[in-house]
Amino acid sequence: MNQARKEMLSLAFLVALLPPLWAVSAPYLHISVGPIALICAGIYGANGNKFQDAVKISLGFLAGDIWALISALVTGSAFAGILGGPLTLFVTLFVLGFIAVVAALSLPKVFFLPAWLSGWAIGMLTMNLARGVSLGSLTIQIGAAMLVGVFYVGALVDRLQKLMAGVKK
């Protein structure tokens, strides 16, 4: 079997195996937002599956998750009633977006800006659509799914695929 075929089949097998195992186990771990892991794994992969970037990608996602929580709290607060919903949303996104870019670009060894911004969007969307779950619990679930995406679906699948296909690091 040629190398390209080995790489394709090993990747297909691992993608068919490991993410579904996560999908089945996530509810037993009280994580209702398991598919977030696949999005985060995709962003990890889009960065070239660079394991050396896994921590800063994870920290970016977690920062985005916290940004989503802050956004939800501010836009749902009495402050929003004073300024009005659209203006509160604009000011919140403006300030937090500005801070995220400055922080991530000032600390590129700590945060991966695309993960921070996409993590923020993932968190905001999830928090806007979720019903009957506390924001605190949801923030923890989102963060856990993000870490699973980077380390289990992203890094582990990549490493196992390389081992199965006989690819050197």
Q: According to the model, what pLDDT value does residue 13 have?
A: 94
Residue 1's pLDDT band (cuts 50, 70, 90): confident
Check pLDDT > 70 for residue 166. yes
Q: According to the model, what pLDDT value does residue 169 have?
A: 63
Q: What is the mean pLDDT of residues 130-151?
A: 94
For every residue of the chain, which 3-state class applies, written as one string? Answer: CCHHHHHHHHHHHHHHHHHHHHHHHHHHHCCCCCCHHHHHHHHHHHCCCCHHHHHHHHHHHHHHHHHHHHHHHHHCCHHHHHHCHHHHHHHHHHHHHHHHHHHHHHCCCCCCHHHHHHHHHHHHHHHHHCCCCCHHHHHHHHHHHHHHHHHHHHHHHHHHHHHHHCCCC
Least reliable range by pLDDT among 64-68, 85-89, 102-106: 85-89
Check pLDDT > 80 for residue 122. yes
The residue that leads in pLDDT, 83 or 143, is: 143
Check pLDDT > 70 for residue 118. yes
Q: What is the mean pLDDT of residues 136-155?
A: 96
Q: According to the model, what pLDDT value does residue 153 have?
A: 94
Q: According to the model, what pLDDT value does residue 81 have?
A: 78
Q: According to the model, what pLDDT value does residue 131 have?
A: 84
Model-level pTM? 0.91
What would the pLDDT profile of 20-76 be if each residue is shown by its tens digit?
999 999 999 999 999 999 999 999 999 999 999 999 999 999 999 999 999 999 998
